[in-house]
Amino acid sequence: MNSEEIARLVLLASIEGGCEFWSGEVSRSGAISVVDSLKNNVYLGSKNSAEKIAERVRAVNVDHIQQELMDAQAKFITPDHPNWPNRLDDLAAPPFGLICRGDTSLLQSQSLAVVGSRNPTSYGVRIASEFAAGFADRDWVVVSGGAYGIDTAAHKGALAAEGNTIAVLGSGLNQIYPAGNERLFREIETSGLLVSEVLPSVHALPARFLIRNRIIAALSHGTLVVEAAYRSGSLRTAREAAQILRIVMATPGSITSPASEGCHRLIANREAELVSCVSDVMELVLPLDDARMA
């Protein structure tokens, strides 16, 4: 690793992702300068917990972290890496780096996110799987969060179609959550990619799943919501996608189904396009993709 990569690794180990202030400082001054400033208490007295962060920065053992990455068979990639997904730069708080296991070249591929309820109906599971398989058949990478429910159905649908899928985790690569999906994650890393914004040994926390949603949204050309309750983390992903001008889509369900209330809310508020088949999605995302390539 070069000095800038090491500095970014130190920041990743010391600061929770999603903080616009620290991402902005890195963008303006570079990671090396930010780390040096923290060590020298330049940010002391700021409103961004600088004192505690500085203590963590000074306590980081870089050799120990690099060994942790090696033991986890993980790669740490930063904006200098050839496979860094420039789409992440659209975020107000891009990650300092990504810790990956699997095929990082997939980060350069055209991709679509499929997200939704952790407690879906059988209808939702079937729809998510069929959409994901359809995307995979058309050579789109399926991005989701590895959670139970719609996320799992999306990953499995892509794999069943012999396609590629990316799981963006809310925990470290050695602290798989949910544990019941360990076998699925092993399948994903074989032909796809696991991505995390925290060190391999870091445990899952509820807040980290909300923070990682912005990465799911930014990695993808569009986000499809399949079944989401009226209050749902999937709606957070949809809003993150809309904020960075990604297309947001939702599948309708029964008007009496609480599992589809979030999707109906997105559609009714014109925050999402109603889609009922893979062709609907392609009609929406292919013109956008062509415009970016022009």
pLDDT in tens, 237-283: 999 999 999 999 999 999 999 999 999 999 999 999 999 999 999 99
What's the pLDDT at 294? 37
What CA dihedral angle connects 231, 233, 235 and 239, to 10 degrees?
130
Residues 107, 85 contacting (CB under 8 angstroms): yes
Q: Is 66 helix (H, G, I), strand (E, B) or coil?
A: helix
What's the pLDDT at 293? 40
Domains detected in the chain: 1-60 (no CATH), 104-293 (3.40.50.450)
Q: Is 143 helix (H, G, I), strand (E, B) or coil?
A: strand
What's the pLDDT at 253? 92
Q: Count how many residues are written for the chain.
A: 294
pTM metric for this prediction: 0.93
Q: Which residues have CB under 8 Å from 65's CB, separation 6+?
A: 9, 13, 199
Distance (Å, whole) CA 115 – CA 128: 8
Residue with the two structure tokens 């990695």: 219
Strand 247-250 to 222-226 pairing = parallel
What's the pLDDT at 49? 81
What CA dihedral angle connects 198, 32, 34 and 78, to 10 degrees?
-40
Residues 144, 173 contacting (CB under 8 angstroms): no
Q: Tell me 2's DSSP state.
A: -
What's the pLDDT at 234? 86
* Other CB atoms within 10 Å distance of the CB of residue 28: 9
Nearest to 191, CA basis, from 144, 147, 116, 141: 141
What's the pLDDT at 291? 47
* Other CB atoms within 10 Å distance of the CB of residue 47: 7
- Read out DSSP for 170-238? SS-TTS-SSGGGHHHHHHHHHHSEEEESS-TTPPP-HHHHHHHHHHHHHHSSEEEEES--SS-HHHHHH
What's the pLDDT at 46? 65
What's the pLDDT at 238? 92
Tokens of 172: 């470290």
Distance (Å, whole) CA 202 – CA 212: 14
- Point out the residues of the chain with pLDDT beneath 70: 44-48, 287-294
